[in-house]
Amino acid sequence: MIPLIICCLSAAGISVALIFHMIRVGVMDVPGHRSSHTRPTPKGGGIGIVVGFLLVFPISQLWTQGDLPGISLLLPLLAIALLALFSWLDDIHSYRASLKLGVQGIAALMVLTGMAFGGQALPDVSLPLLACLLGIGFCWLVYVTNALNFIDGINGLASGSMALSALIMAWLFDQVGQAGLTHAALILTACLIAFLPFNFPKARIFMGDVGSQGAGLALSWFGLEAALATSHPLIMPFLLCGILFDVAFTLIRRAIAGDALAQAHRSHLYQLATRAGMSPVLVTLIYWLFVIWGGFVCMQPLPLGARLALLLTPQILWMALVTSRARNAALGKW
């Protein structure tokens, strides 16, 4: 336990040091007409999150397990490193959406390959069904990574939601004796918590795509591992339900309206709520509560239908409240 605590503190320390460095470097996020912030703010704080995680986790494995991570952990780590590096370059150069999606796809395939050849035993099913499951896993990895990137628009929402989710996943992995994944989730939690004071309630720095996509891929990987290794296979969709619902609702609504899905906008539910006068701090706290509620509901000994009803009821009420306030606030087309 003491080595793991030291590793978590070390990861947090590395994160803080790199965040301070990125503040000094001052790569600025200049607000535009679609931004939620109003003044230029440094970005790239996610470098501290991702580098702290990627540096310390292998050391924790060597120290506590006596060996470096095997292929089941190594390939996902390399995928996170690849996506984080590309996302940082994208933060600077703004690549086209198709290139971003291609790199996300490569990273997703790396995660699935690691799981297939070194991780949990795959389900004993027919080849067509296995291919379908792998396709679902691929879409899950890409969708969650993008969802956590889209949701990173007000202070603390994405980083706090991810920190809570990673902490709950660490507890769950520990319950089933998955030491490597437990350590990975705890170290990621430490790095995200180290970032939070720099971003919430007021932002001295933003995560940027490097943090939201890097940590987002890690969480989506944890979700697939939990589906194979724990008694709560839907734990990550339940934890991230508030975020996934927000993104799905927004994409569907914009598709129906004929809007370009790849175009930047301010019409997510969380953005509409703040534009309609709700405190950004309150909105962030509401999404954190969605994470806690999702974890609680998932672990209840109830039929799946009942748990889904309990899970989605707050989301539907939130959607109704926000859209009603947005209409009354006369925000124009959203």
Instruction: Please tell me the distance from the alpha carbon of residue 272 to that of residue 322, in angstroms, as a whole number.
Output: 7
Predicted confidence at residue 237, as pLDDT, reads 97
**What proportion of the chain, given as a percentage, has pLDDT over 70?**
96
In a domain, residue 334? The reply is no
The arithmetic mean of pLDDT across residues 23-43, rounded, is 75
In a domain, residue 204? The reply is yes
Say whether pLDDT at 38 is over 70: no
Is residue 152 classed as helix, strand or coil in its secondary structure?
coil
- Whole-number mean pLDDT of the chain? 92
Say whether pLDDT at 253 is over 80: yes
Instruction: Please tell me the distance from the alpha carbon of residue 36 to that of residue 266, in angstroms, as a whole number.
Output: 8
Residues 6+ apart with CB under 8 A from 317: none
Residues 6+ apart with CB under 8 A from 229: 120, 173, 176, 178, 181
Predicted confidence at residue 37, as pLDDT, reads 56
Instruction: Please tell me the distance from the alpha carbon of residue 49 to that of residue 216, in angstroms, as a whole number.
Output: 11
In a domain, residue 174? The reply is yes
pLDDT in tens, 93-103: 888 889 999 99
Say whether pLDDT at 26 is over 80: no
pLDDT in tens, 255-312: 998 888 777 788 899 999 999 999 999 999 999 999 999 999 999 999 999 999 999 9
In a domain, residue 302? The reply is yes
Q: Report the domain count for the chain.
A: 1
In a domain, residue 292? The reply is yes
Say whether pLDDT at 124 is over 80: no
Predicted confidence at residue 128, as pLDDT, reads 82
Instruction: Please tell me the distance from the alpha carbon of residue 181 to that of residue 115, in angstroms, as a whole number.
Output: 12
Residues 6+ apart with CB under 8 A from 135: none
The arithmetic mean of pLDDT across residues 160-180, rounded, is 96
Range of the domain at 44: 2-328
Q: Are 334 and 266 in contact (CB under 8 A)?
A: yes
Is residue 155 classed as helix, strand or coil in its secondary structure?
coil
In a domain, residue 211? The reply is yes
Residues 6+ apart with CB under 8 A from 268: 150, 151, 153, 246, 247, 250
In a domain, residue 271? The reply is yes
Question: Which pair of tokens denotes residue 285?
Answer: 């706290």
Question: Lowest mean pLDDT: which of 124-133, 196-205, 209-218, 239-248?
Answer: 124-133
Instruction: Please tell me the distance from the alpha carbon of residue 251 to that of residue 94, in angstroms, as a whole number.
Output: 21
Handedness of CA 116, 117, 121, 124 (dihedral sign): positive
Predicted confidence at residue 2, as pLDDT, reads 87
In a domain, residue 333? The reply is no
Maximal CA-CA distance, the chain: 61
